[in-house]
């Protein structure tokens, strides 16, 4: 759902006379059956538009549905198989000079990438997003690793259902963006790393926790909201200056902030938090 500000901006963009090259919108769907593939590495680089990631239909290894301006960019897919391990690279090449990509938005017609991922094959996923509106639902995708990097974008990432596999590493790198990651407890990660630049960030650690984990959160400027389930033991060690921490219910123990149920919790999350400037709000889920 587009926000009102986005709609206004798109209307303004529509009113702007465009003297540039006419867009050549092309829509392509490419999918592949899982077959004998036992593991897959997916590396996606998406520059601008709308990105939607969700589980693919049964039996498919991946399912990409892409709309792009063929006058300005060209999608590149590379597929390779080594034994039963596969790798898919999806990126875009600009058709301007030196690979530059001039992107324009005409009216409400934007490019998009819908990426469906296997529900059965263990996946190592890396997504790099430029200026995009992203909706990522990884619930049901067996992930062994996730790296999500984004620049100036608006991202809503969630794990709707528990990951069937143990995720060794979960990493977010967010530039100047509005970023929300919810139900991170379903990610089943061992360790998480978050690096944020400027923006409004929400990290929601609710979900079905099955083991202890650790997280390192580095925040530059902006607002950071951390949400935890009540039954999860949380300990936050904060470093930084000029960053306020508002953690109602948490108590300070040995220099760290500890959630009320730390001692009785079945699973624990240790967080190393570094913030330069901004506000940090910690609250427990309803």
Token reading at 184: 């991170």
Q: Segment near another protein (CB under 8 A), from 128-136, 155-163, 227-235, 268-276?
A: 128-136
Q: 72-75, long-range: CB within 8 Å, 24+ apart, which pairs?
A: 72/21, 72/23, 72/96, 72/101, 72/102, 72/103, 72/104, 73/47, 73/101, 73/103, 75/28
Site string for another protein, 183-202 (x = CB under 8 A): ---------------x----
- Closest to another protein by CB, 35 vs 249, is 35
The least distance separating another protein from the CB of residue 119, rounded to whole angstroms, comes to 16
156 binds another protein (CB under 8 A): no
Q: How far is CA 173 from CA 32, 222, 280, in A?
A: 29, 14, 18
Look at residues 235, 164, 176 and name the one whose alpha carbon lies nearest to residue 205: 235
The least distance separating another protein from the CB of residue 66, rounded to whole angstroms, comes to 9
109 binds another protein (CB under 8 A): no
129 binds another protein (CB under 8 A): no
User: Using the rule CB under 8 A, which residue among 38, 76, 164, 244 binds another protein?
Assistant: 76
Tell me the three state secondary structure of residue 184. Answer: helix
Residues between 25 and 64 that touch another protein (CB under 8 A): 25-33, 35, 45, 47-49
For 265, phi then psi, to 5°, come to -70, 145
What whole-number distance in Å separates Cα of residue 206 and Cα of residue 1? 24
146 binds another protein (CB under 8 A): no
What whole-number distance in Å separates Cα of residue 116 and Cα of residue 53? 6
User: Using the rule CB under 8 A, which residue among 105, 159, 209, 257 binds another protein?
Assistant: 105
Could you tell me the sign of the dihedral formed by the alpha carbons of 12, 13, 14, 15, in that order?
positive
- DSSP code at position 106: B
277 binds another protein (CB under 8 A): no
User: Using the rule CB under 8 A, which residue among 52, 85, 89, 156 binds another protein?
Assistant: 89
Look at residues 143, 38, 47 and name the one whose alpha carbon lies nearest to residue 95: 47
- Closest to another protein by CB, 215 vs 224, is 224
User: Using the rule CB under 8 A, which residue among 41, 52, 54, 103 binds another protein?
Assistant: 103
245 binds another protein (CB under 8 A): no
What whole-number distance in Å separates Cα of residue 273 and Cα of residue 236? 7
- Closest to another protein by CB, 132 vs 273, is 132
User: Using the rule CB under 8 A, which residue among 54, 85, 176, 277 binds another protein?
Assistant: 176
User: Using the rule CB under 8 A, which residue among 86, 113, 127, 132 binds another protein?
Assistant: 132
Vertex 222: Cα angle to 155 and 261 (nearest 5): 85
Enumerate binding residues for another protein (CB under 8 A): 6, 9-10, 12-13, 16, 18, 20, 24-33, 35, 45, 47-49, 65, 67, 70, 74-80, 89, 91-96, 98-105, 130-133, 151-153, 176, 198
């Amino acid at each position: 759902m587009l926000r009102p500000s986005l709609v206004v901006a798109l209307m303004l963009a529509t009113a702007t006379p465009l003297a540039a090259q006419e867009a050549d919108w092309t829509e392509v769907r490419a999918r592949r059956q899982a077959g004998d593939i036992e593991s897959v590495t997916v590396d996606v680089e998406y520059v601008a538009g709308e990105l939607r990631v969700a589980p693919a239909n049964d039996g498919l290894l991946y399912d990409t549905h892409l709309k792009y301006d063929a006058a300005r960019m060209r999608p590149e897919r590379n597929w390779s198989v080594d034994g039963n391990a596969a790798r898919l690279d999806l990126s875009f090449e600009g058709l301007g000079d030196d690979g530059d990509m001039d992107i324009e938005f005409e009216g409400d017609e934007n490019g998009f990438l819908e990426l469906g991922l296997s529900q059965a094959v263990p996946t190592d996923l890396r997504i790099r997003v430029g200026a995009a509106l992203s909706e990522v639902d990884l619930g049901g995708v067996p992930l062994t690793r996730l790296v999500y990097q984004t620049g100036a974008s608006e991202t809503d990432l969630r794990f709707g259902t528990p990951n069937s596999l143990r995720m060794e590493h979960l990493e977010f790198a967010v530039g100047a963006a509005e970023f929300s990651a919810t139900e991170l407890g379903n990610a089943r990660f061992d360790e998480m790393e978050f690096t944020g630049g400027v923006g409004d960030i929400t990290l929601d650690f609710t979900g079905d926790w099955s083991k202890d984990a650790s997280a390192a959160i580095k925040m530059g400027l902006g607002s950071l909201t951390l949400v935890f389930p009540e039954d999860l033991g949380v300990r936050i060690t904060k470093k930084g200056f000029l960053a306020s921490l508002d953690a109602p219910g948490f108590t300070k123990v040995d220099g760290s902030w500890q959630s009320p149920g730390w001692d009785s919790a079945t699973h624990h999350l240790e967080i190393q938090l570094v913030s330069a400037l901004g506000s940090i709000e910690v609250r427990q889920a309803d």
